[in-house]
Amino acid sequence: MADWQEITGGITAPRGYRAAGITAGLKPSGLPDLALILSDVEAIAAGVFTTSQVKAACVDYCRQRLQAKHNTRAILCNAGQANAATGSQGWFDALESAMAVAQALNISSDSVLLASTGVIGQRIRIDKLKAEIPQLVAALSDTGSDAAARAIITTDLVTKSIALETTIGDRPVRIGGIAKGSGMIHPNMATMLAFVTCDAAVSPGLWQQMLSRAADRSFNSITVDGDTSTNDSLIALANGQSRTPAIVEMGPEAEKLEAMLTAVCQHLAKAIARDGEGATCLIEVQVTGTHDELSARQIAKTIAGSSLVKSAIFGRDPNWGRIAAAAGRAGIPFEQENLQIKLGNFLLLENGQPLAFDRAAASAYLKGASKGAYLKEDTVLISVSVGNGHGTGKAWGCDLSYDYVKINAEYTT
């Protein structure tokens, strides 16, 4: 049983945080497009970013800032323009954005982190952004999480938010988060932004280690379409306002905090996969029996990312051969005679041998999952075992529908 409970409030649930989201005129649609998250005091910051060689200016900016100092006060996020592949001018736009926020908040510009999302190759509409910064700062509120969550999305159909609370040292500790992402989603980050706030006190190195591990078990374990983006950013702040003793090394309290951080990240990651462009259901792949966790996750991610598996799920076709083929090409050695595959509660393959199963019922299971009739949160569960090892891992994805092609074929037109 989880050692925490879900609470309301999103990124402003932890103590000492405010947030805002407004319409600044950056998106042609006229929808909200500028968000700000502020810690009332200096917060320890950690980040995980895209591994792409083509990176947005905000990614380079954040990496430089976090290498130079671990303390941060604010995160500014614009939607509408990715400010990626925009050359030196895109870099100057990023600097101007940080300076504008810093001046409005009366803080140092190196205490501002940045994120952008939108069309690659388009610079931020910097004049519009700068003109609306005073309005954005004025809108900051300790109930502003929902507004911020709305302002960071692009093709998302829904906002993504979560907050959890546990007890450390007889005092409540909270972690909240918001995220965006729907397409161009694949491990090694994805077209996703996620912002996490925490009111515990954690040493910088340990907070970064916790976040990196949580990212591997969440955002680096989801896939929608096999494409990794230029702007992926996961930024987490810890400001110590819970007034609990500082956590400086691994131990029971650190493990409890990391488990809750991972749960927040996994909730947001699954929400991204569930909201995949054109998707009708979430796919969860559970793999057991490998030598270690990394190997299990690799097999799980390969299955979740298989276009053939995803297409079969959309077609409500219990074609386990596609699952077996994906597991076999994941690059992780295992004996074929040890392979077991289950779809929900339907055992399809055991000891490497196909089994008779009720195909119509299995197809009905897939149809029901698309409507949320069989499993909580519209989830199709694929379970794979490859041996007797202790390694276990999970990955999440979604089905591949006709609408995915339509959405992306017309993305800039």
Q: Kindly state the tokens that stand for 88.
A: 């030196």
Domain boundary among 258, 274, 290: 274
The pLDDT of residue 182 is 67
Query: CB atoms < 10 A from the CB of 360, how many?
Result: 9
Query: So what's the pLDDT on residue 374?
Result: 37
Tell me, yes or no, whether 269 and 305 share the same domain. Answer: no
- Residue 286 and residue 266 share a domain: no
Cα–Cα distance for residue pair 113/205, rounded to 1 Å: 18
Number of structural domains, the chain?
2
* 383-412 core/surface letters (b: 16 or more CB in 10 A; e: else): bbbbbebebbbbbbbbbbbeebeeebeeee
The count of other CB atoms within 10 Å of the CB of residue 134 is 12
Instruction: For residue 1, count CB atoms less than 10 angstroms from its CB and return exposed for 0-12, middle for 13-18, buried for 19 or more.
Output: exposed
CATH of the domain at 202: 3.60.70.12
Question: Which of 274, 293, 311 is the C-terminal boundary of a domain?
Answer: 274
Do 267 and 260 meet the contact criterion of CB atoms below 8 Å apart?
A: no
Residues 107 and 173 both lie in one domain = yes
308 and 183 in a single domain? The answer is no
Q: Are residues 233 and 196 in the same domain?
A: yes
Q: Are residues 263 and 395 in the same domain?
A: no
Residue that terminates a domain, selected from 235, 253, 274:
274
Same-domain status, 245 and 340: no
Tell whether the torsion through CA atoms of 236, 239, 241 and 245 is positive or negative.
positive
Model confidence, pTM: 0.87
Say whether both 388 and 264 belong to one domain. no
Is residue 85 left, alpha or beta, with left meaning phi > 0 and alpha meaning psi from -120 to 50? left
* The pLDDT of residue 161: 97
Is residue 204 within 8 Å of residue 192, measured between CB atoms? Answer: no
Which of the residues are catalytic? Answer: 191
Same domain, 294 and 166: no
The reply to whether 233 and 333 lie within a common domain is no
Show pLDDT as tens, one digit a residue, over the chain (413 residues): 689 999 999 999 999 999 999 999 999 999 999 999 999 999 999 999 988 888 899 999 999 999 999 999 999 999 999 999 999 999 999 999 999 999 999 999 999 999 999 888 999 999 999 999 999 999 999 999 999 999 999 878 889 999 999 999 899 999 999 999 865 555 555 558 999 999 999 999 999 999 999 999 999 888 766 556 678 899 999 999 999 999 999 999 999 999 999 999 999 999 988 877 778 889 999 999 999 999 999 999 999 989 899 999 999 999 999 999 999 999 999 999 999 999 999 999 999 999 999 999 999 999 876 554 333 457 999 999 999 999 999 999 888 887 777 766 765 65
Give the model's pLDDT for residue 185.
52
Q: Same domain, yes or no, for 104 and 242? A: yes
Q: What is the pLDDT of residue 139?
A: 98
| Residues spanned by the domain of 385 | 282-409
**89 in the same domain as 223:** yes
Can you give the pLDDT at residue 84? 92
CATH number at residue 400: 3.10.20.340
- The residue written with tokens 């519009």 in the block is 128
CA distances from 153 to 157, 178, 181, 222, 346 (A): 8, 10, 7, 18, 37
